[in-house]
C-alpha cells in the first residue's frame, strides 16, 4: 500500500510537516516575544499545547493530501499549489478552533494574532520551500537514479504512443519509459522511436522484475471493459505501481483521485490486498455515524412515515431482497414510494435494457417515468429520502454508508463476469455513482465508478463522498 506513494512524495510530506511545526513556533515566539524562551517552555500548559501541535500537524498533512498537494502536476504548479495550501490551512484551522472551543484550555490558539501569524508564516515557508527549493532539487534528482521512475507501458496504439511521447518530451519529472507490453506486436518490434515491445501480457510480472520497473501505465484505448479488467488484474499482481489511461474511465470525476503525468490524466490503481484494518475502520465508522444519524433524523423520518400513511394505502416500509457482498441475499429497507401491490415486471424489463445497454451511444439511463410511483414517492426518490431506512441495514452490517449499490436477484442474473466484482465488498447507501449524477449514469459507467471506489477505499475518500452526496440530495441532482 505504501509503495503507491513514491519516495519524493514522502520526502515532501516530511518537509511540509517540519515547516508547519516551524510556522507554529515562529508564530508563538512572535506573539510572546517578551517572555524568555526558557520560561515559556517551562510552563506545563505550553508543553501540553506543543504536544497537540505536534500531533495536529500530522492532520494537516492528511488535509494536504486531500487537496492534492502531493500530486505531481500540482506541486509543480505555483498558482494551483498556492490556492490548495491556502484552503488546507483554512480547513485545518477550523478544526483546531473547534478543538479549542471544546477544551477551552489552549490560550495561545485562541489568540487571533497567533492564528494570523501561523497562516501567514505557514504559506510563506511552505510555498517558498516547495517552489524555490524542492522543485529545483526534484528536477535535479530526477536526472539521477535517486528519483528516476522506470516505466513500462501496456498498449501499442495512439494512447500508448501519446503517453510515451509526453514522458520523452519532459525529462524533468523523473520518468523513463523502458518499453511496451502487448499481445498484438512481435517481441522486439519497435513501437515508438527506439522503444520496442518487450513481451506479452503473460510475461508482465517477469518483465517488471527483470527491468526493475517502478510504474506500469495501462494505455489501451481500443479494448472492451472485460478485457481491460483482465489487464488491470494482471498488472495489479506485480510489485509495480499501476496507473491507467483509458477513455472507459472518463466517467470518474477529475477532482476525485486523478493525477496528471505530464498533462496526461491517469487513474491510480493500487495493488490487490485485503486490508483488515480498513474493514474494521469502515465498520466502526458506519456504526458511529449511523447511530448519530438515526438520532438526528428520528423526527424527519417519523414525519415522512406519517405523510406516506396519509397519502396512500399500504405499509410505510418497503422490504425487498437485495444481493450483498459475495452474492449473499439480505432484506433491504426503504420508505415505500410506490402504490401497494405494484408489480416488478416493469422494472425487470427496464433492468434488462439498462444492464444490456453495453455503453452504446444510445444508452439506456435509469428509469425516470415509473407509473407505479406515488406523487409523494416521486419527491422522496428525487431527494433520496426514501433511502433513509437503509441506515438500519448499516447497523445490521448488511450495508455500509459508502459502497456500490446492492442489486436485485434478477439483475444479478444478467451480470457479465466483470460486473460481479462490484459484489466483492459490502454494498453502500451512497457511492461515486450518486456524486457523478445518479440517473444520468449508464450501467457500465456505474460499474466502472464502483470498481474505482473499491480500488481506492480510504477513510478520507468515504468522507468526501458523503459530503458530496448531501448537496446532491438537497438539490435533487440526477434524481427521479
Q: pLDDT tens track of the chain, all 480 residues?
A: 444 566 778 889 999 999 999 998 888 888 777 777 777 777 776 677 777 788 888 888 888 887 888 877 676 778 888 888 888 888 888 877 776 666 555 555 556 677 788 888 988 999 999 988 888 887 777 777 667 788 999 998 888 998 888 887 766 667 889 999 998 889 999 999 889 999 998 899 899 999 999 889 998 877 788 888 888 888 888 888 888 887 766 666 554 555 666 566 677 776 555 567 778 888 998 999 999 999 999 999 999 999 999 998 889 999 999 999 999 999 999 999 988 766 666 667 777 777 776 444 344 445 556 678 889 998 998 888 999 999 999 999 999 999 999 999 989 999 988 899 899 899 999 988 877 655 556 788 888 889 888 887 887 788 888 888 877 666 655 555
Continuous segment of H or E residues that includes residue 241: strand 241-244
Continuous segment of H or E residues that includes residue 321: strand 317-323
Distance CA(197)–CA(316), nearest Å, equals: 62
List, in sequence order, every beta strand (DSSP E) within 64-174.
149-154
Q: What angle do CA 236, 237, 238 make, to 5 degrees?
A: 90
C-alpha cell of 74? 500540482
> SS3 for 170?
coil
Residue 209 CA from chain centroid, whole number: 29
| Torsion of Cα atoms, 176 then 254 then 131 then 72, to 10° | -20
Cβ-based neighbours of 279, under 8 Å, separated by 6 or more:
none
| Torsion of Cα atoms, 279 then 285 then 291 then 292, to 10° | -170
Residue 384: name the closest of 286, 466, 472 by CA. 472
> SS3 for 3?
helix
CB 335 within 8 A of CB 305: yes
Q: Which domains does the chain have, with CATH numbers?
A: 2-141 (no CATH), 149-269 (3.40.50.720), 276-474 (no CATH)
Amino acid at each position: 500500500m505504501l509503495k503507491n506513494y513514491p519516495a519524493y512524495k514522502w520526502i515532501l510530506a516530511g518537509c511540509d510537516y517540519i515547516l508547519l511545526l516551524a510556522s507554529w513556533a515562529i508564530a508563538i515566539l512572535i506573539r510572546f516575544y517578551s517572555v524568555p524562551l526558557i520560561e515559556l517552555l517551562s510552563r506545563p500548559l505550553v508543553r501540553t499545547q506543543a504536544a497537540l501541535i505536534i500531533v495536529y500537524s500530522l492532520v494537516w498533512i492528511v488535509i494536504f493530501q486531500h487537496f492534492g498537494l502531493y500530486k505531481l502536476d500540482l506541486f509543480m504548479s505555483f498558482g494551483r499549489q498556492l490556492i490548495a495550501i491556502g484552503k488546507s490551512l483554512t480547513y485545518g484551522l477550523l478544526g483546531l478552533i473547534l478543538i479549542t472551543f471544546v477544551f477551552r484550555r489552549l490560550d495561545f490558539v485562541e489568540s487571533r494574532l497567533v492564528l494570523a501569524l501561523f497562516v501567514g508564516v505557514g504559506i510563506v515557508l511552505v510555498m517558498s520551500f516547495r517552489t524555490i527549493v524542492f522543485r529545483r532539487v526534484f528536477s535535479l534528482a530526477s536526472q539521477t537514479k535517486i528519483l528516476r521512475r522506470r516505466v513500462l507501458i501496456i498498449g501499442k496504439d495512439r494512447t500508448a504512443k501519446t503517453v510515451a511521447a509526453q514522458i520523452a518530451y519532459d525529462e524533468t519529472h523523473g520518468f523513463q519509459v523502458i518499453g511496451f507490453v502487448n499481445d498484438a506486436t512481435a517481441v522486439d518490434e519497435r513501437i515508438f522511436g527506439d522503444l520496442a515491445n518487450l513481451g506479452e501480457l503473460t510475461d508482465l510480472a517477469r518483465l517488471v522484475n527483470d527491468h526493475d520497473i517502478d510504474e506500469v501505465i495501462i494505455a489501451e484505448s481500443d479494448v472492451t471493459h472485460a478485457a481491460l479488467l483482465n489487464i488491470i488484474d494482471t498488472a495489479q499482481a506485480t510489485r509495480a505501481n499501476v496507473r491507467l489511461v483509458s477513455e472507459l474511465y472518463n466517467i470518474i470525476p477529475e477532482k476525485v483521485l486523478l493525477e496528471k503525468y505530464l498533462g496526461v490524466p491517469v487513474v491510480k490503481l493500487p495493488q490487490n490486498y485485503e486490508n483488515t484494518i480498513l474493514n474494521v475502520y469502515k465498520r466502526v465508522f458506519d456504526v458511529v455515524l449511523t447511530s448519530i444519524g438515526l438520532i438526528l433524523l428520528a423526527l424527519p423520518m417519523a414525519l415522512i412515515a406519517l405523510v406516506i400513511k396519509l397519502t396512500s394505502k399500504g405499509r410505510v416500509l418497503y422490504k425487498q431482497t437485495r444481493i450483498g457482498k459475495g452474492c449473499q441475499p439480505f432484506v433491504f429497507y426503504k420508505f415505500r414510494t410506490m402504490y401497494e401491490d405494484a408489480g416488478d415486471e416493469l422494472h425487470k424489463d427496464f433492468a434488462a435494457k439498462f444492464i444490456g445497454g453495453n455503453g452504446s451511444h444510445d444508452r439506456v439511463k435509469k428509469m425516470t417515468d415509473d407509473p407505479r410511483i406515488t406523487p409523494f414517492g416521486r419527491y422522496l426518490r428525487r431527494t433520496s429520502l426514501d433511502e433513509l431506512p437503509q441506515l438500519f441495514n448499516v447497523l445490521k452490517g448488511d450495508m455500509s454508508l459508502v459502497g456500490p449499490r446492492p442489486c436485485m436477484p434478477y439483475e444479478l442474473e444478467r451480470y457479465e463476469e466483470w460486473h460481479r466484482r462490484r459484489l466483492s465488498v459490502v454494498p453502500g447507501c451512497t457511492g461515486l455513482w450518486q456524486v457523478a449524477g445518479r440517473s444520468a449514469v449508464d450501467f457500465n459507467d456505474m460499474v466502472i465508478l464502483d470498481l474505482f471506489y473499491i480500488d481506492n477505499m480510504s477513510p478520507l475518500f468515504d468522507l468526501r463522498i458523503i459530503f458530496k452526496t448531501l448537496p446532491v440530495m438537497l438539490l435533487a441532482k440526477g434524481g427521479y
